Amino acid sequence: MREAGSLEAAFIVWIFGAVVALCGALSVAELAVRFPRAGGLYEPLRQRYGERLAFIYGWAQIALLAPSAIGSFCLLGAGALGSLLGWPEGTEWPLALAILVFVVGSALLGTRFGAAQQTSITAVKYAGVITLAVVGLALPFDPAPVAPLAVQVTVRTELSVAGMFAALIAAMWAYDGWADLTALAGEVREPRKTLPRALVLGTVLVGVSYLLVVAGAGRVLGLEGLRNAGSGANMTAMLVAERTAGSLGRQALALLIAISATGGAMASVLTHSRALVPMATDGNFFRALGVVSERGVPVRALLVLGALGAIYVGSSSFEALTDAFVVGYFPFYALAVLSVFASRDAPIEGSFRMPLFPLPPVIFLIGAAMVIGGALFELSTSALMAFGVLLSGIPISMAYRRLR
């Protein structure tokens, strides 16, 4: 809302982001059928672009993408938990570290245990999101203005290309996750049938849920209220709950946000640690990270990601981590989706072929260009960090190949 310039422009960004995510999910679903191997985007990137890009993808995973995702979820959960406990805003990092330790400890217990946790937490998340949407869209609300933020923030008052592109970065973090399940392809039953169904259906449900919540939040808080929303007790969801359902509603939403963010951190740890294993076992990344326990758990990869996540928690804000994650991931998303065109004529096993080809990958590539363009327009600290990590992967990959 701060970047888009108006409430209507922000809704357009949210809708376009949902379409981009769905087109990405359709494209990745076809790649998952062609390459039903654990590792996420690693296999199509390796086969289409070679081992050097595969290494850079692994380097980005461990140096930026995984720890920024894990750290952002832990900070979000800590902010919600801190508001319940009465902690001063901005001092929740010990809670974030506690959530991180719990998440990594749970992942060490194995995929089956993690899957059971994800099932229950996802049910809670959907219940909370739909409840928030209904509350925002249906209940009477307190129209009092939201107090301005104590910290000075940049707000665009006019519609601009740069603002729309920058707003899309935030929306795409919210929608992200549509490619993560492919990291677990080796541990999914009948991946050629299950992965496309889960990727597409999950993305549709997430998109509809977010659009309903944003519509409800816009009704209750308006443009200025959304721009003044912050972290902790001033999160958008808790402001909406408090304006419609009082302090009890705010506390209930805070608890749901804490559970939801913890579930997001669990999913990130589960998928990103598995994505490193095939790269390492192929010799295209540090082999030590490919060691798997008798339970099928990549213990070393989990511990390394946990340690790096702790560093990110202590050194960055939630917004900085989410922006860095999106900017760092979208070049790989774009390259993977682009590979669909080259591999489409090859024989394919399984029943899924994306509908309306080539429209979905074209739409996604347009959205990816807008995200990367938004980062180049802004050149924020987060964007510079993301681009720096990606570029540093080139000399590191050269050194690794020589040492290997």
Tens-of-pLDDT digits for all 404 residues of the chain? 888 888 999 999 999 999 999 999 888 888 877 777 766 788 889 888 998 898 899 899 889 998 988 988 998 899 888 888 887 776 778 899 999 999 998 888 876 766 677 778 888 888 888 888 998 999 999 888 888 876 677 788 888 888 888 889 889 988 888 887 766 666 667 767 777 888 888 888 989 999 999 999 999 999 888 988 887 778 888 889 889 988 888 888 888 888 888 988 988 888 888 888 888 888 888 888 888 887 778 899 999 999 998 988 877 777 788 888 888 999 999 999 998 888 776 666 556 678 888 999 999 999 999 998 888 877 778 888 889 999 999 999 999 888 87
Report the distance separating Cα 64 and Cα 326, nearest Å.
Answer: 10
Report the distance separating Cα 275 and Cα 403, nearest Å.
Answer: 23
Residue type, 209: S
Residue partners of 112: CB distance under 8 A and separation at least 6: none
For the chain, how many structural domains are there in total? 1
CA 72 → CA 68, 275, 285, 313, 325, distances in Å? Answer: 6, 19, 25, 7, 9
Report pLDDT for 100: 93
The answer to whether the CB of 54 falls within 8 A of the CB of 42 is yes
Report the distance separating Cα 273 and Cα 113, nearest Å.
Answer: 15
Report the distance separating Cα 2 and Cα 74, nearest Å.
Answer: 24
Cα–Cα nearest to 154, from 253, 227, 251: 227
Residue 264, in any domain of the structure: yes
Q: What is the CATH number of the domain that holds 332?
A: 1.20.1740.10
Residue 1, in any domain of the structure: no
Residue 163, in any domain of the structure: yes
Report the distance separating Cα 275 and Cα 20, nearest Å.
Answer: 23
Residue 19, in any domain of the structure: yes
The string over 289-298, giving b where at least 16 C-beta atoms fall within 10 Å of a residue's C-beta and e elsewhere, is bbebeeeebb
Q: For residue 112, how many other CB atoms are within 10 A of its CB?
A: 11
- Which residue reads 């347009």 in tokens? 366
Report the distance separating Cα 149 and Cα 144, nearest Å.
Answer: 15
Residue 84, in any domain of the structure: yes
pLDDT digits (tens, 9 = 90+) for 259-283: 888 988 988 888 888 888 888 888 8
Q: Which two tokens stand for residue 40?
A: 């996420």
CA 309 → CA 54, 58, 141, 315, distances in Å? Answer: 22, 16, 39, 10
Report pLDDT for 127: 85
Report the distance separating Cα 7 and Cα 226, nearest Å.
Answer: 9
The answer to whether the CB of 305 falls within 8 A of the CB of 63 is no
Angle at 260 between CA 321 and CA 76, to 5 degrees: 30
Angle at 279 between CA 273 and CA 284, to 5 degrees: 140
CA 206 → CA 184, 293, 362, distances in Å? Answer: 20, 33, 22
Residue 2, in any domain of the structure: no
Residue 308, in any domain of the structure: yes
Identify the domain containing residue 379 by its residue range.
7-403
